[in-house]
Amino acid sequence: MKLWLRTGKTGKFAEVVSIGLLLLPNARFGRKSPTRRRPMKRNPTKRPNYRNLERMGGSTKASLIHSRLGSICRFVSLSCTISTFIAFLIVDKTDHTKTDKIITLLLLVGAIVLEIYAVIVLLSSDWTMLWLSKQKKPLVDLISKANSFFQSCFGLCFLLPRNKRWSNSMAQYNLMGHCIKLKLIKGSQTKKYNNKMLEKYWYKNLEPVPEGLKKRIFEQLKNASSISDIRVSKQLFAYTGDDDEAKKCILNLAQSMEVDFDETILRWHIATDLCHYNDLDNDSETVKNLICKSKLLSNYLVYLLVMCPYMLPSGIGQIRFQDTCAEAIEFIEDREYISDENKACEVLFKVNMEIPPSQIKGDRSKSVLFDACILAQSLQFLETQNNQSTEQKWERISQVWVEMLSYAASQCRWNYHARQLRQGGELLTHVWLLMAHLGITEHFQISQGHLRAKLLLT
């Protein structure tokens, strides 16, 4: 099923592709918004006409191409191109130069190749495969097998897209890497200008989503029955001992989860980098896997904070990120011997934090650089002084990052998920749909008695 949702004042429509996998046959839609059309009145006992649901979003290029009219237009276009090519071969061309003949021939051959390729792409689309799967005729079955053969052949030649739904990758954006690169390019006005123009590509990189991370997210979510159940930090930061220093560290960890969400992301992002530096020499495969998962989620959420802030709960994340970067750059520039991220983390980890950062910077700066140092030192203290292993520390960190990812997914509005689908999709959207499937998100409500899924468009 294709569901089209209207967004914005311009009347543009975003295709929510994956939601169709979750909505059960009797789909009901939530309350109206001034920017949406009035929902159709229908009998609640009658199965909805999904073609009408699709038309609610207006005609689209995809629906036109895969319609009968679109098929006729494609056939006419290919026929006309081939007819023109044949006519060119037949007619007298003595009045034209050899160069003109060659150029015209190349253009016609190119046009035919493009038309044939467009037909192959059309036949390999999900719309066509869905239609073929519903047909029980022998001829259609033969066409379906031929279609699958051509798909495999052209797929091996990289002529057809192999990852049509999701790239299976997650963008990464590291704050310390950002600051180090700014230091390296400082002084070159040309590079600085190019950096402003290509900032998204200069600092961002893509990493594949490992299967271990998917399993970790699923395992942490599958036993939750509501959004409140995914908050594992309360159990992780519970302490009943008598050590005052350990209590203080646990309090620092707990308080870091009670501040604004963007501040929590930045604090734990920097603290994760500092702890990673401190455990570079650890040879345990388990620890390395936990570090990898934590770093991936850490960099991914900072990418969302910087590049897609609309997908996270509202706040002053951009201001906080800029202030933190400014303080980190100043800290790095004052120490000329810092030339890479590891050295920066080494120096930051050793900063004396006896005086709280709020007493030094006041309320003017929203930087969380040294608050993150306190957080990292607290995590390290619990490992060294409280008889905790390195594996336990990184298990705790990875669980916190999955909790933050799940919270961000549950708070993101549906239209922002749809907006990112046009750019390849986000891991955050997959987590949101997984939570909906498990029944732990407020965007979907499933009535068990009638097996009916309700999408809340709020």
**pLDDT digit string, tens, across residues 410-447:** 899 888 988 887 777 899 999 999 988 888 876 555 54
Q: What's the chain's Rg over C-alpha atoms?
A: 28
Least confident range from 64-68, 80-84, 145-149, 396-400: namely 145-149
The residue to which tokens 């967004």 are assigned: 7
Mean pLDDT throughout 52-72? Answer: 59
**Final residue in a domain of this structure, among 104, 126, 156:** 156
State the DSSP H helix or E strand holding residue 455, giving kind and residue range, or none if neither.
strand 452-455
Query: What domain range includes position 127?
Result: 63-156
Cite the DSSP H helix spans in 334-389.
341-349, 357-361, 369-385
pLDDT for position 187: 53
Dist. CA 32–CA 38, nearest whole Å: 7
Dist. CA 286–CA 298, nearest whole Å: 18
pLDDT for position 44: 39
Residue 450 lies in a domain: no
Dist. CA 458–CA 32, nearest whole Å: 9
Mean pLDDT across the chain, nearest whole number? 75
**Final residue in a domain of this structure, among 369, 392, 411:** 411
Between 105 and 443, name the one with better pLDDT: 105
Both 201 and 79 in one domain: the answer is no
Given a cut of 60, is residue 50 above it in pLDDT?
Answer: no
State the DSSP H helix or E strand holding residue 123, giving kind and residue range, or none if neither.
helix 98-123
Tens-digit pLDDT profile for residues 230-277 = 676 666 676 666 677 778 888 888 888 889 999 999 999 999 999 999
pLDDT for position 12: 33
Both 91 and 176 in one domain: the answer is no
The residue to which tokens 């494609």 are assigned: 74
Q: Are 195 and 185 in contact (CB under 8 A)?
A: yes
Dihedral of alpha carbons 151, 154, 157, 161, sign: negative
Q: How confident is residue 112, by pLDDT bands cut at 50, 70 and 90?
A: very high
Between 426 and 158, name the one with better pLDDT: 426
Residue 418 lies in a domain: no
pLDDT for position 140: 64
* Residue-wise DSSP of 225-240: SSGGGG--HHHHT---
Both 144 and 186 in one domain: the answer is no
Q: How far is CA 261 from CA 22, 254, 308, 315, 435, in A?
A: 28, 13, 14, 8, 19
Both 40 and 79 in one domain: the answer is no
- Name the DSSP class of 413: -
Both 24 and 83 in one domain: the answer is no
Both 148 and 176 in one domain: the answer is no
Both 277 and 182 in one domain: the answer is yes
Three-class secondary structure of residue 135 per DSSP = coil
Given a cut of 90, is residue 103 above it in pLDDT?
Answer: yes
Residue 235 lies in a domain: yes
Q: For the chain, what is the domain count?
A: 3
Dist. CA 324–CA 365, nearest whole Å: 8
Q: How far is CA 47 from CA 41, 131, 267, in A?
A: 13, 21, 50
The rounded Cα 129 to chain-centroid distance in angstroms is: 27
Given a cut of 50, is residue 287 above it in pLDDT?
Answer: yes
Both 248 and 393 in one domain: the answer is yes
Residue 439 lies in a domain: no
Residue 400 lies in a domain: yes
Residue 152 lies in a domain: yes
Dist. CA 252–CA 258, nearest whole Å: 10
| Amino acid at site 39 | P
pTM of the predicted protein model: 0.68
Contacts of 308 (CB under 8 A, 6+ apart): 416, 420, 426
Residue 92: burial class (beta carbons within 10 Å; 0-12, 13-18, 19+): exposed
**Residue 437 tokens, joined:** 């499937």
Between 268 and 204, name the one with better pLDDT: 268
pLDDT for position 7: 37
Q: How confident is residue 218, by pLDDT bands cut at 50, 70 and 90?
A: very high
Residue 113 lies in a domain: yes
Given a cut of 80, is residue 55 above it in pLDDT?
Answer: no
Residue 385 lies in a domain: yes
Both 207 and 276 in one domain: the answer is yes
Both 24 and 43 in one domain: the answer is yes
Both 182 and 151 in one domain: the answer is no
Both 193 and 249 in one domain: the answer is yes
Given a cut of 60, is residue 5 above it in pLDDT?
Answer: no
Least confident range from 50-54, 83-87, 286-290, 349-353: namely 50-54
State the DSSP H helix or E strand holding residue 169, giving kind and residue range, or none if neither.
strand 169-172
